[in-house]
């Protein structure tokens, strides 16, 4: 039984109807993933949510910097996973020279997030009020 390529792309968060078929890359590091159009009921959507939640739990109190890093880490992790799955299926290394820099960037983002973990604690209401009283 052959699967419909348009359904396959839709279930993975890839929009096949926006561009001509030849323009959309569905594999490798150049796979087109539109994170704003992902249906979070799919496997990809559930994976993205789970990764983001685990990283947020690791960091603790979210800040804009940590949220940006988390979104970058999730995006790069998904792209790397798609590339690795494609290579295991086809045993081709056409994009190997692009894989290592992205994997290194992924590693550095994880290191940066680990340094932020637990350091950013939002002040409580009482602490803010004490600071304001001390300044007046």
Q: Could you state, in order of their start, the residue ranges of all structural domains in the chain?
A: 5-121
In this structure, are residues 69 and 63 in contact, taking their beta carbons and an 8 Å threshold? no
134 sits in which H/E element:
helix 125-135
**What backbone torsions phi and psi does residue 90 show, to the nearest 5 degrees?**
-110, -10
pLDDT of residue 73: 93
Q: What is the pLDDT of residues 65-89, one digit of tens each?
A: 889 999 999 989 988 888 887 777 7
State the Cα–Cα distance between residues 68 and 60, nearest whole angstrom. 14
**Is the pLDDT confidence value at 63 over 50?**
yes
Q: How far is CA 37 from the centre of its chain?
A: 14
Top pLDDT among 120 and 82 is at: 82
Residue with tokens 């796979």: 31
Give burial (CB, 10 Å; 0-12/13-18/19+) of 67.
middle
Q: Among candidates 59, 15, 65, 69, which has minimal Cα distance to 38?
A: 15
The answer to pTM > 0.75 is no
Ordered DSSP codes for 4-67: PHHHHHHTTT--SSSS-GGG---SSTT----TTS--TTSHHHHHHHHHHHHHHHHH-S--HHHH
Q: Residue 101: which pLDDT band, with cuts at 50, 70 and 90?
A: confident
pLDDT, the chain, mean:
75
- Lowest-confidence region among 26-35, 81-90, 106-115: 26-35
Give the DSSP letter of residue 92. -
Note the pLDDT of residue 134.
85
């Amino acid at each position: 039984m052959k699967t419909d390529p348009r359904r396959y792309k839709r279930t993975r968060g890839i929009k096949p109807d926006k561009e001509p078929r030849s323009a959309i890359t569905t594999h490798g590091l150049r796979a087109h993933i539109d994170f704003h159009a992902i249906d979070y009921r799919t496997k990809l959507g559930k994976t993205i949510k789970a990764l983001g939640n685990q990283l947020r739990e690791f960091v603790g109190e979210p800040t804009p910097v940590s949220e940006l890093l988390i979104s970058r880490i999730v995006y790069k992790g998904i792209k790397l996973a798609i590339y690795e799955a494609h290579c295991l299926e086809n045993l081709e290394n056409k994009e190997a020279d692009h894989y290592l820099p992205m994997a290194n960037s992924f590693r550095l983002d994880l290191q940066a997030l680990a340094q932020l973990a637990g350091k950013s604690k939002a002040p409580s209401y009482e602490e803010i009020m004490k600071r304001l009283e001390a300044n007046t």
